[in-house]
Chain A
Amino acid sequence: MSVLFFNSMILCVLLPSGLVQAELSSSLQQQWAFNTSTGDSQKMATVLQVEFNTPLAEESYFTVISEFKYDFQKHLATAQERPPSYSSVNGPSWENGKAQLTVQELYLDSSWQQLQLRLGKQQLVWGEADGLKVLDKVNPSRFSEFILEDFDQSRIATWMLNAQWEVDDSSSLQLLWIPDSSYHEMPRAGSEYSFSSAATVPVPAPGVQLQLRRAAKPDHWLTDSELGVKYTAFKNGWDISLNYLYHYRDFAVLYRQQQGSKLVISPEYQRSHLIGGSLSNTFAGVTLRAEIGLDTASFFLRSDLIDSGITKSAELSSLIGLDWQGGDNRVSGQWLLSNILDYNSQIIRDQYEHTLSLSYQRDFANQTISFSTLALHSPTNNDGLIRPKLSYNLRSGFDLWLGADVFYGSKSGLYGQFKDRDRIYTGFEWSF
């Protein structure tokens, strides 16, 4: 069943009943980016997004957000054909070379007494972290621009049943069932932001030919579906959550075998249990945020080919963040620590990986002008990323921006691998 046919069927069933009070809102975005190392234009894309909301009955609402994107250059494309990481009911509804039509989200909201349901294709974020992921693993992401795309653009909505039960005035229980087996969309080999560091992709010895097999992708709607449970509470000023997700790791595990002069890579997706929690509170004008997550199965590249070049281990990640706001100034800092619990010396990555983030934002002229900068730094690899941005709200619903993404550090690091991919970007968005 094609994605277009599947989405059209749902629209036909749901739309006719609620057109009277329907709301339509749209935005047109133009994006340009230039690689400052090469001087080449990296991206020139036009994105039209249309959001449609309508009530269907009392306490029932329908939402669809669709997006048409025309990329004049395709330097950032993931693949020439439809990316294989999507399930049969996800991914672009239609595409033609540089143009793409995607149903970004499509869901039905309904509530009955203490029960609230959101059924359909949706984005869902868990956790308290900003830009760094510990519990935010419900939806897969697109990495065609590494992590430089806006999160609502790069996060891939998936089909799910999202039920929330209000236990009492201050606590609730959320249940998720996700039959949509879509995974991270990776950049095409050789594209601007394709991964090259040894900790993330196998690097063959000189003279060794690399053969990449098609990924073994579990995609049965029932047996490969994912389940999640989240309990949230607000007690004595503390926001608390306890989370559990039975899921597939969205990065394929790259198993390797030497076959003659060839190194054969067989990507497979593997299951894991994510167990964790989060909390936040404010003290004297400062917001404290923290989260912790244990993935029972993480997979790390080895420097040898024992166990097909992969070590499986539990991974414990934790994050603590502090935010301060004073007048038109906002400052936020975070520290993320990832720990491989069953570490051995053949694993290419360090056992402990630290990431620090610091962001600053200042608004001017009644929030019509905003300057922000985000710095991500890995003390482990001594590399990082700096992202200054200036935004201007020219008039109602019309924004302009100018920004830069600057990588630094060792080429073997997660950020440093893109040190010759620095870019300056600009664009506008018109909402109507």
Chain B
Amino acid sequence: MHKLTVSLSLIATSIILSSTAVAQQLDAVTIVAKVNAVDEGEYVSRKLLMTMTDKRGKSRQRDTISYRKYYADEKRTVLFYLQPKNVKGTGFLTYDYADKARDDDQWLYLPAMRKVRRISAADRGDYFLGTDLTYEDMKLEGKLEPADFVYSVIGQKQQQGKTLIQLAGVPHNQQIAVELGYSKVQSWVDSSNWIVVATQAWDLRGNLLKSITNSDIRRIDGIWTRHLIEVLNHKTGHQTVYQFSEVNYKTLVKDSLFRKNALSRGR
């Protein structure tokens, strides 16, 4: 029995060591590539409940449904507000082009105006509709952007049986830093599924700006999916919790949802 225990311990230790060794051997470029290669599905539909809470504890909720679909390298996303009634019917449509030099095309439908408005692609560092994630954060959907940051591996740790690799990202230049509003980021990547589980970002003065935690990560239709994202803005004390539900990668998402007409119809 004692021998068996020792053997199992040795096996477990060797697995952890080999996993650690693998993580140590991988360079940042490879890790970023693995994170960005995680399958997102060609299309997805999901409900998203956003709960925004200020530093005094006052909360607001936004109940939405969103759809995303890839057309080769072009990503189209549409978000409809379902509740409460004072924002119900608001719709936001984005065409995100693979060519980084080309600005996204965006449209906003405001029910009070009964009109779809063309809007300029927001500055990447602007906050998305009053939440604590920026337009760029939303667009990346947990991916990493090597065109903006130089990444390096700065550590790793074991957590609940998983190896988490710590990456540090520094903007390529000051212009990118100003655009994004970040002087530095650090992310923890789960080496078992290559999902980013936590990120911290520092503002241009080097102060900790926000902490992002991704949890309730599970496979849906075979695809690793984050169901809970918690973002705390350390500067304002404001936080946003994003809860995803009814995630569906299998049911075909209609092309007609990504047209201006769908915005005004709310579906």
Name A residues whose Cβ lies closer than 8 Å to a Cβ of B.
Answer: 25-27, 49, 51, 61, 109, 111, 114, 116, 118, 123-125, 127-128, 130, 150-152, 155, 164, 166, 169, 172, 232, 234, 237, 239, 280-282, 285-287, 289, 323-328, 363, 365-368, 393, 395-397, 399, 429, 431-432
Would you call B1 an interface residue if the criterion is a C-beta within 8 Å of the partner chain's C-beta atoms? no
Asked if residues B122 and A366 are in contact (CB atoms below 8 Å), the reply is no
Min distance, Cβ A344 to any Cβ of chain B, angstroms: 36
A399 to B112 Cα, complex, angstroms? 15
Q: Is the interface of A mostly helix, strand, loop or mixed?
A: strand
Min distance, Cβ B89 to any Cβ of chain A, angstroms: 9
Taking CB atoms, residues of chain A closer than 8 Å to B59 are: 395-396
Taking CB atoms, residues of chain A closer than 8 Å to B172 are: none
Question: What would 5 more interface pairs be, CB under 8 Å, given A25-B83, A287-B120, A432-B84?
Answer: A150-B112, A239-B118, A367-B130, A395-B59, A431-B88
Question: Contact check: which of B61, B85, B113, B120 meets A285 at CB < 8 Å?
Answer: B120
A398 to B127 Cα, complex, angstroms? 22
Interface string of B66-99 (1 = CB under 8 A from A): 0000000000000000011110100000000000
Query: Can you list 12 residue pairs at the A/B interface with Cβ under 8 Å?
Result: A111-B256, A125-B113, A130-B113, A152-B114, A172-B261, A285-B121, A366-B52, A366-B127, A366-B131, A366-B132, A366-B236, A399-B86
Taking CB atoms, residues of chain A closer than 8 Å to B58 are: 395
Taking CB atoms, residues of chain A closer than 8 Å to B127 are: 366
Min distance, Cβ B175 to any Cβ of chain A, angstroms: 15
Would you call B115 an interface residue if the criterion is a C-beta within 8 Å of the partner chain's C-beta atoms? yes
Taking CB atoms, residues of chain A closer than 8 Å to B113 are: 125, 130, 151-152
Name B residues whose Cβ lies closer than 8 Å to a Cβ of A.
Answer: 52, 54, 58-61, 83-86, 88, 103, 105, 111-115, 117-123, 126-127, 129-132, 236, 238, 255-256, 259-261, 265, 267
Asked if residues A395 and B60 are in contact (CB atoms below 8 Å), the reply is yes
Asked if residues B112 and A152 are in contact (CB atoms below 8 Å), the reply is yes
* Given A111-B256, A116-B256, A325-B119: A155 touches B86 (CB 8 Å cut-off): no
Asked if residues A365 and B84 are in contact (CB atoms below 8 Å), the reply is no
A328 to B121 Cα, complex, angstroms? 14
Taking CB atoms, residues of chain B closer than 8 Å to A49 are: 85
Taking CB atoms, residues of chain B closer than 8 Å to A399 are: 86
Taking CB atoms, residues of chain B closer than 8 Å to A172 are: 259, 261
A368 to B58 Cα, complex, angstroms? 11
Of chain A, the residue at the smallest CB distance from B122 is A325
Of chain A, the residue at the smallest CB distance from B84 is A397
A287 to B116 Cα, complex, angstroms? 13
Taking CB atoms, residues of chain A closer than 8 Å to B88 are: 25, 51, 431
Asked if residues B54 and A366 are in contact (CB atoms below 8 Å), the reply is yes
Asked if residues A282 and B121 are in contact (CB atoms below 8 Å), the reply is yes
Of listed A111, A127, A286, residue having the most chain B CB within 10 A: A111
Min distance, Cβ B157 to any Cβ of chain A, angstroms: 33
Min distance, Cβ B141 to any Cβ of chain A, angstroms: 21
Of chain B, the residue at the smallest CB distance from A330 is B119
Asked if residues A363 and B130 are in contact (CB atoms below 8 Å), the reply is yes
Q: Is the interface of B mostly helix, strand, loop or mixed?
A: loop
Min distance, Cβ B126 to any Cβ of chain A, angstroms: 6
Asked if residues A125 and B114 are in contact (CB atoms below 8 Å), the reply is yes
A123 to B89 Cα, complex, angstroms? 14
A130 to B105 Cα, complex, angstroms? 20
* Given A51-B85, A51-B88, A397-B84: A118 touches B265 (CB 8 Å cut-off): yes
Question: Contact check: which of A125, A323, A327 meets B115 at CB < 8 Å?
Answer: A125
Taking CB atoms, residues of chain B closer than 8 Å to A111 are: 256
Min distance, Cβ B80 to any Cβ of chain A, angstroms: 12
A34 to B261 Cα, complex, angstroms? 40
Min distance, Cβ A287 to any Cβ of chain B, angstroms: 5
Min distance, Cβ A118 to any Cβ of chain B, angstroms: 7
Of chain B, the residue at the smallest CB distance from A49 is B85
Those 8 A-B pairs whose CB atoms lie nearest each other, nearest first: A367-B130, A397-B84, A431-B85, A25-B85, A280-B118, A282-B120, A431-B84, A431-B86
Of chain A, the residue at the smallest CB distance from B89 is A51
Min distance, Cβ A229 to any Cβ of chain B, angstroms: 15
Taking CB atoms, residues of chain B closer than 8 Å to A367 are: 129-130
Of chain A, the residue at the smallest CB distance from B119 is A287
Asked if residues B260 and A239 are in contact (CB atoms below 8 Å), the reply is yes
Of chain B, the residue at the smallest CB distance from A129 is B115
Asked if residues B123 and A282 are in contact (CB atoms below 8 Å), the reply is no
Min distance, Cβ A233 to any Cβ of chain B, angstroms: 11
Min distance, Cβ A422 to any Cβ of chain B, angstroms: 24
Asked if residues B118 and A27 are in contact (CB atoms below 8 Å), the reply is no
Min distance, Cβ A62 to any Cβ of chain B, angstroms: 13
Of chain A, the residue at the smallest CB distance from B88 is A25
Asked if residues A27 and B120 are in contact (CB atoms below 8 Å), the reply is no
Asked if residues B123 and A326 are in contact (CB atoms below 8 Å), the reply is yes
Question: Contact check: which of B84, B105, B111 meets A237 at CB < 8 Å?
Answer: B105
Question: Contact check: which of B61, B85, B118, B255 meets A289 at CB < 8 Å?
Answer: B118
A111 to B120 Cα, complex, angstroms? 30
Asked if residues B118 and A151 are in contact (CB atoms below 8 Å), the reply is no
Min distance, Cβ A410 to any Cβ of chain B, angstroms: 30
Asked if residues A323 and B255 are in contact (CB atoms below 8 Å), the reply is no
A114 to B254 Cα, complex, angstroms? 11
A414 to B66 Cα, complex, angstroms? 44
Min distance, Cβ A55 to any Cβ of chain B, angstroms: 10
Min distance, Cβ B56 to any Cβ of chain A, angstroms: 11
Of chain B, the residue at the smallest CB distance from A363 is B130
Question: Contact check: which of A114, A123, A239, A363 meets B114 at CB < 8 Å?
Answer: A123
Taking CB atoms, residues of chain B closer than 8 Å to A166 are: 256, 259, 261
Asked if residues B52 and A164 are in contact (CB atoms below 8 Å), the reply is no
Of listed A328, A396, A399, residue having the most chain B CB within 10 A: A396
A282 to B94 Cα, complex, angstroms? 13
